[in-house]
Amino acid sequence: MQFKKLANAILITTSIIALSACTHTKKNMDDDASMRGNNMTSHSETSGAGGRSTYDDNVNRSKGTISKNTYYFDFDKSEIHSNDLPAIYAQADYLMGHPAAKIILEGHTDPRGSREYNVGLGERRANSIAEVLKDRGVNPTQIRVLSYGAERLASNGRTEQEYQLDRRSVVVYIQG
Amino acid sequence: MRKLTAILFFFLLTLIGKSAIAVISLELTRGMSGAFPIAIVPFAIQGQTTEQNIPAIIGNDLQNSGRFKVYGANRLSYFPTDVHDIKFDYFRHLGADNVVIGKIQEVGINRYQVNFQLLDVVKGKTADETPESAVILSHQYIVSGDDFRSLAHHISDLIYQQITGVRGIFSTRLAYIVVKRSQNTHTHYALEISDQDGYNPKSLLGSNDPIMSPAWSPDGRQLAYVSFENRKAAIYIQDVATGRRHLVSEFTGINGAPSWSPDGRQLALVLSKTGTPNIYIMDLATRQLTPLTNDYYINTEPAWAPNSRSIIFTSNRSGSPQIYQLDLATRQVTRVTYEGKYNARASFSPDGNHIVVLNQQSGMYNIGTLDLDSGIFRVLTNGSEDSESPATAPNGSMVLFGTFFHGKSILGMVAMDGSVQLRLPARDGDVQDPAWSPFLS
């Protein structure tokens, strides 16, 4: 009888602890965004302002039967989901049909863990896609692998759903 | 049984209270018991200068080190400025073992003479000794008003070393990456440096592409880093004072994790030009590369031992990331970490006896230390949020790391024995990937 009361007390208290640990507020990103937009190409720093990475997803829609350019991965894994294969094969077909076309294969991870190790993990993911393309017959010179690790997250959130969106490889056409 | 229930309930409630305040405060969130009690008296001011900056900064420095209990202006009701007319009994009753007094005198246009003295209260109370015998440190400087902050940090260094016997880190700097995300435009990345307390931030590089892994050269004059500008990873070395930089490594694939040798002549780095990430040493004069690993695993995050005889690095050759040590003479590799399934981003403490490492347990990423002799592993960060990117102070007393607070990435500091915890002043944007400079003075 008494144990039941004790157990209830523990249950209530630990759920209070768990709740207080879970709450966090999302920040609105409305700081000087417009100013940043205007100053994007002019930087006062003495060393180079970087080049721009653009996601040419819209361009890709016209590339044959390619249905998607982003492929997702499970936690700590670099194995391709089988239902991504048709889209990847379609990328291969396009590349083989357009020998002047070039892609960057980006690799990404979720933000947990060590940054440089994540660069290595991201590269593994991009390489998985690259291997499939090359096995299909794509010329390796058409492919460049670039791992961003956890440095270019898909979202700012820290839930499992958002981590799932971070773990990805993206095909970006830089030519053709 | 009812009483036990009540006691247990109360105990658990105090635990909530503890975790709820652990990361909220802007300054010290956990201090050391047995801290040195010291009174820092507002300086006497003659002339135009307005604020009591110098003693306030000294007070913050010493208080935030966690090793001092500071009695500052708001705790004092007696403000002596000369050792000859000081009443040590007041400070004895207060509980201070040491007193800092000083004077600031305007001696020209924006030129000031600053004097300070560190006094020992116990020596001072001995009646038959002259008050001067209580003086442990006494210095005088001529500076401009712009130098007040760095002079204060220098004085903090002197006081810290005098009392603790350990060299102070108040004149060191931090490097870190600031990320500003916006819904309207591209994410912006900046490589910044600041004073060790977060003040005087300066941007060294701004970019629309990621920057990562800043690494200070051993003389503190240069920073190596990885930049993704032009959609490729490359390593640059930039002069901190002039901003001039040169490209060091731009091979196909990964160019990452630069780490300076203790003599500053070599850079350990990671390249995946063989197809997978491996560790190399580059001679900075000749640019010649020497491979240290050559396999198909992920090998990364090299860090030199202070005696230059070995390099520790992260490798997943056993199935998940662990730390390995490579003897540079024999090229033999031995595994170093066994605690848990994930150990990465290790670095040596300055005395070479410990490594500081990112360790994962029960799904949480913490900073831990591993004593290399005893094999004892100890977790330093125990918050409710993941930690990352540990960087050790050059006197081995504190570890700087990245963590999260209210949904933003911030920097935190924890003492090597876990006794003290701090959060850096809040910034605009996300702060991550920090590096601690060597001693600069």
| pLDDT for the residue numbered B60 | 93
B77 lies in the same domain as B95: yes
Residue B1 counted as domain residue: no
Residue B130 has pLDDT above 90, yes or no: no
| pLDDT for the residue numbered A29 | 32
| pLDDT for the residue numbered B13 | 38
| pLDDT for the residue numbered B31 | 64
Percentage of chain B lying above the pLDDT 70 cut: 90
Residue A109 has pLDDT above 80, yes or no: yes
pLDDT tens, residue by residue, B326-363: 999 999 999 999 999 999 999 999 999 999 999 999 99
Using DSSP bridges, classify how beta strands B98-108 and B36-40 pair: parallel, antiparallel or unpaired: parallel
Contacts of residue B174, defined as CB under 8 A and 6 or more positions apart, other chains included, come to: B193, B194, B195, B196, B198, B400, B411, B434, B435, B436, B437
B68 lies in the same domain as B100: yes
pLDDT tens, residue by residue, B228-264: 999 999 999 999 999 999 999 999 999 999 999 999 9
Using DSSP bridges, classify how beta strands B364-371 and B377-379 pair: parallel, antiparallel or unpaired: antiparallel
Residue B197 counted as domain residue: yes
In total, how many domains does chain B have? Answer: 2
Whether A52 and chain B come into contact, CB under 8 Å, resolves to: yes
The answer to whether B213 contacts A6, with C-beta atoms less than 8 Å apart, is: no
B336 lies in the same domain as B391: yes
Between residues A69 and A4, the one the model is more confident about: A69
B151 lies in the same domain as B193: no
B227 lies in the same domain as B318: yes
B276 lies in the same domain as B329: yes
B159 lies in the same domain as B180: no
B129 lies in the same domain as B231: no
Whether A37 and chain B come into contact, CB under 8 Å, resolves to: yes
pLDDT tens, residue by residue, B187-228: 999 999 999 988 888 999 999 999 999 999 999 999 999 999
The answer to whether A17 contacts B254, with C-beta atoms less than 8 Å apart, is: no
In the numeric block, the tokens 């360790």 are attached to B359
User: In the listed set B140, B164, B188, which residue is the last one of a domain according to the structure?
Assistant: B164
| pLDDT for the residue numbered A12 | 54
Residue B182 counted as domain residue: yes
User: In the listed set B114, B147, B164, which residue is the last one of a domain according to the structure?
Assistant: B164
Question: Phi, psi at residue B379, to the nearest 5°?
Answer: -85, 130
Residue B14 counted as domain residue: no
The residue type found at B419 is S
The answer to whether A113 contacts B342, with C-beta atoms less than 8 Å apart, is: yes
Q: Which range is least confidently modeled, A73-87, A110-124, B7-21, B262-276? A: B7-21
What is the band of B417 on the pLDDT scale with cuts at 50, 70, 90?
Answer: confident
B159 lies in the same domain as B178: no
pLDDT tens, residue by residue, A55-73: 444 444 456 667 799 999 9
| pLDDT for the residue numbered A64 | 63
Closest CA to B188 of A38, A157, A138, A158: A38
Whether A6 and chain B come into contact, CB under 8 Å, resolves to: yes
Residue B3 counted as domain residue: no
Average pLDDT, chain A: 75
Six token digits for residue A25: 């507020």
B150 lies in the same domain as B200: no
| pLDDT for the residue numbered B424 | 79
B431: containing domain: 173-436
pLDDT tens, residue by residue, B283-321: 999 999 999 999 999 999 999 999 999 999 999 999 999
Residue B375 counted as domain residue: yes
User: In the listed set B144, B164, B184, which residue is the last one of a domain according to the structure?
Assistant: B164
Interaxial angle between packed helices A85-97 and A115-136, expressed in degrees from 0 to 180 and rounded to the nearest 10: 60
Domain boundaries, chain A: 56-175
Give me the residues paired with residue B355 across strands.
B348, B370
B129 lies in the same domain as B275: no
Query: Between vectors from CA A19 to CA A16 and to CA A21, what angle results, nearest 5°?
Result: 110
Calpha distance A116→B159 (Å, rounded)? 38
The answer to whether B298 contacts A17, with C-beta atoms less than 8 Å apart, is: no
Over residues B357-378, the mean pLDDT reads: 95
The A residues from 105 to 134 touching B (CB cutoff 8 Å) are 112-117, 119-121, 123-124, 127
pLDDT tens, residue by residue, B83-117: 888 999 999 999 999 999 999 999 999 999 999 99
Residue B7 counted as domain residue: no
CATH class held by domain A56-175: alpha beta
Between residues A48 and A107, the one the model is more confident about: A107
Are B435 and B216 in contact by the 8 Å Cβ rule? The answer is yes
B302 lies in the same domain as B224: yes
Interface size, chain A vs chain B, as Cβ–Cβ contacts under 8 Å: 191
| pLDDT for the residue numbered B377 | 96
